[in-house]
Chains A and B, each alone.
Chain A
Amino acid sequence: MKKKEIFITSAFTQNSVWRQILGICSALAVTNLMLNSLVMGLGVIFTLALSSFTISMIRDLIPKRIRMMVQTLIIASYVIIVDLFLKAYYPEISKSLGPYVGLIITNCIIMGRAEAFAGKNAPIDSMIDGIGAGVGYTLVLLIIAFVRELFGFGSVFGIPLLGDWWTKWSIMVMAPSAFFMLAILIWVINTPKLKRG
């Protein structure tokens, strides 16, 4: 497969969130602000790319029985890097993301890509696949966060857009709206696909 194809497949046509319903825990939790979503997305892209690369490099050395454990440890090491980086340079964002940075470890997308792609393919291809999956995930996060922040706070990336006349929808900031937004997104994306057969 060509590199570009790998990227497109894992980012859009086989997008982990809306096609496979993976990794939605954090997709729901951090999407009340665009900035948080972007940072979270970048963290996931970084972790996905490097852990796919590493797992693919040593894929022949990992014993089959303990491969889950080895993969988890590799992923955890990269997540620690992300966490320390955020704590050092962006303490504010790190604080508002709270434990969700650490929870990238148990994000099913990373494990899923490791199992489905990195375990069978060459390192560079796996890395591209990882970046693709990460970009697809970030895209979903940003779409949901855009709607929630716009209606909930009347702003985008913290910049007020709607002005004072806008009555803030506090429901958009609370938990239930995240479920509804993701459901609507999945619905909208899957409908034309089903019609085409």
Chain B
Amino acid sequence: MELNAFIIFIAAIFTSNILLTNFLGMCSFLSVSKEVDSSIGLGMAVVFVMTMTSALNYVVYHYILVPLDIIYLQYIIFIIVIAAFVQLTEMVMERFSPILYYSLGIFLPLITVNCAILGVSLFMIIRNYSFIQSVAYGAGSGLGWLLAILALAGIRQRIKEKYVPTGLVGAGLSLIITGIMALAFVGFSGIVVIQ
């Protein structure tokens, strides 16, 4: 079935949120969500890198790996593409826009090991998306991730001074908040469905 790219974009943000339904990118999600400012920074960096790497990996997969019949190397190639792209972005940013570099640059190395980035590339291959669909999926997933981390950071900032059982402080509490958020997002699932 051919899905409209715009539908995929919307679905990736709400109904198939990469974090809340596929659990990807949890590590940096939990560690960076203490403050709203830094989570916006990381979120923006994720949106950018995710969109670009899903486009790059699509091209690499369909025009290099498939013709050469070396699909089994996809993991290694994808990781290299992502790492190289992040490194390149860091260098370009440092050279041309130091202000942007100091606000976003510190988050870039974190992104290489963010499983959501690799996950988006793998999902797009498994679901047989076209180029436009892949880019829409990448951008949508990035925005969905930004939305989730922003919401969590906002809630965590408010809850910081409240009383919580000691065993739950930190990760436990964040997980419960995320669970409630995921429940809320389940409510969107009637709108559109992509696997």
Contacts and interface: CB of A to CB of B under 8 A. Distances in A.
Nearest to B74: A102
- Interface size, B (range): 35 or more
Contacts of B122: 98-99, 102-103
Most central of A111, A187, A188 by chain B CB within 10 Å = A187
9 nearest A-B residue pairs (beta carbon): A179-B179, A99-B122, A183-B175, A191-B167, A106-B115, A28-B23, A176-B182, A190-B167, A29-B23
B166 interface: yes
B172 A76 contact: no
A147 interface: no
A179 B76 contact: no
A111 B30 CA distance: 17
Interface in B96-138: 112-115, 118-119, 122-123, 126
Contacts, number: 117
A99 B119 contact: yes
A44 interface: no
Interface residues of A, number: 42
Contact of A190 (B26, B74, B79, B172): B172
Contacts of A139: none
B175 A186 contact: yes
A105 B75 contact: yes
A86 B30 CA distance: 31
B23 A105 contact: no
A187 B165 contact: yes
Nearest to A182: B175
A174 B118 contact: no
Contact of B179 (A102, A108, A183, A191): A183
Interface stretch (A77-85, A118-126, A150-158): A77-85
B22 interface: yes
Nearest to A81: B72
